[in-house]
Structure 1
Amino acid sequence: MTPTAAELVQTCNSLIEVPSIDGDRAALQEVVRRIREFFHDVPVEVHEEEFGGYPSIVITTCASKSPKIMLHGHVDVVPGKPEQFRPEVTDERLHGRGAVDMKGFVAVAMHVIRDLALSPYPPSVGLMINTDEEVGGRCGAKHLVQQGWSAEQLINGDGGYGDAVTFAQKGIIQLTVEALVEPGLRYAPWNGLGAADVLLRTVSEGLQQLCPQQNELAEESNWGSTACVLSVETKENGSLPPRKASASIRVYWADDHTGAEVIELARKAFQPLKVTGRVDAERVYLSPSDPDLLHLRDLWQRQLGRPIGIRADNGSSDAKWFAPLGIPILILRMPGCGAHTDNEWLDVTALKPMYQTLHQYITEKSGEAQESDLAAPVILEQP
């Protein structure tokens, strides 16, 4: 039975009321407990695991670590004002911390999984919920993937746009570039430049090589690699220019390379300086003409009653930890505004359309799988 908008709001509220911020282990455990209780007496498999102080929960309709479709989200939130943990609906907007990022989607997904599990022929589907996305996701989604959790297809609800489905999210690489020199006197650069001069010149030239499209990109055409220098540090060297300087650089990678390959490209771009790197997120990419992506978009805009685009996302999500598995990853987001701000809200009128979209998509994909199984040839053993 399709839930009413009021029932969906009630489930959202039960999650938003919990101040599940990083460091509050009791709150993280409480929000997971509420999710578990939602599935009380529902015929599902419930797997709970806590790693590094962060609990996760996975609900599946089958005894498998790899259902055909896995819905995916997180219920940890950034800190907010006390009143943001007292959800309130005004003018069809549900205000509260985590409403749009992303307890609203999780609440809808909970209803979808419960209703599918109670159907006469439940499809193979799951819901993974983590509590550390806002701090990197290493103890939640990454850990569970390492434990063998997967799916034939992932639907993540942590995209960047409420008016579009997302076909790609950029990889994120953290670089440190260091220059160590023997400088000449401050007034005699011909005897040797200071480390800061060498660093700034090399970084400027290297970034043009590493991210040649950066100056041509814009919000509506954002799919290209970009980089941002976060900080530059030097140490005083008496009357001489500094001997050592370092820059912290974050690269948002769009091209078809792994994070490790990007770090090697950076080493070449910033030669002869020392470069160390860390992969914070692998690139997530699905062709914008992928049939399943287009079908999900069509269902979503039909239920919502307004056009939905297809876009690449500047940011990242826990979907990044599934990227190395090579499975299709579809990403969308509940309409709303103000994530991570004092005025975060969710469009209440979109809750039921999101439920109907996910329910119909999973049901149709399940039907395709059953037809495929029925069409498979039966090989009889010879007597």
Structure 2
Amino acid sequence: MDARFGLDKHVTLPGDFALAGGAVLPELTIAYETYGRLNANASNAILICHALTGDQYVASTHPMTGKPGWWQRLVGANKPVDPEDYFIICANVLGGCMGSSGPASIDPRGGRPYAMAFPVITISDMVAAQARLLDHLGVARLAAVIGGSMGGMQALSWAVQYPDRVGKVVAIASAARHSAQNIAFHEVGRQAIMADPMWAGGDYAPDAPPAAGLAVARMAAHITYLSEEGLTEKFGRRLQDRAAVSFGFDADFQVESYLRHQGLSFVERFDANSYLYITRAMDYFDLANTHDGNLARAFAAARCRFCLVSFTSDWLYPTTESRRIVRALNAAGAPVSFVELESPFGHDAFLLDAPEMNRVISGFLSA
């Protein structure tokens, strides 16, 4: 395969992998894709970090759904992150379900899937796993780390955990901690999964997952990715394939049908236990926690330049969260650029057609 295009890879790194919670994995498997080539002095590597329901297929066809890469608007030929210029890496996060070590993985100590015996993980564990992958790939230092949503949390964590290994950080529609509201939404989703009888304490068969619970979890979460303006414009109160309401509980409204479709399609590509573990990792995320609650102190050792982007209609990670990070970076004396972009599409704006965001990122990377 031409090295300019996605290379689907797995690597199992032997030896204990210690986690923030005190547990230890006996080995670490990471599934990843690369695009482009590493240059002679290994200075052109960019790590793309995915969000909660994302994966390593950032710019190539997803093998399960057949859909294009989730960030092909940003990554690709003649895009801001061009494989002709950069060696681009995107790994499925620790705890994920697309090949990296997670609850569906086989525990080498017993030969059975971990299920709920998989240890609880954190965002910092995800980043440490990525660092192990980069060691394997011979990348000592990243030109940039880029991520949106949970990917932005990972990008910010890179600057804190490995300040000497990253030159630039781009965090989009993200935050330095998970809010009480976000934790609450995640708990609704987790309870929906665990209340499904098919969950069976996490020991369900791959061909008999808790589909109903996971679909409801996805439906609830998907609402938070949108905005009232966007939902009203796209659906309003329009009916779905009918002239009048049914006076029943079928999907009378288009928005109901849309959410049901989102839930059902999600079940086909995502593991319920992974959803539990990754949402928990996000809930535990608080960069200032180990620095006496002082976010500026968390960034004190940072050696990179930062670019933060938020969107006006994003109420999941609103602009106030980005401004909090900017203030902390200013207090830490770190160079930072920040822009709030107009968009009616809510949190998902960073995944949609966003030419202004592309221009901002392109300019930041080339500066």
Normalised by the length of structure 2, the TM-score is 0.29
Report which of the two structures shows the higher radius of gyration computed on alpha carbons: 1
Higher strand share goes to which structure? 1
Structure with the larger RCO, 1 or 2 (CA within 8 Å, 6+ apart) = 1
Normalised by the length of structure 1, the TM-score is 0.28
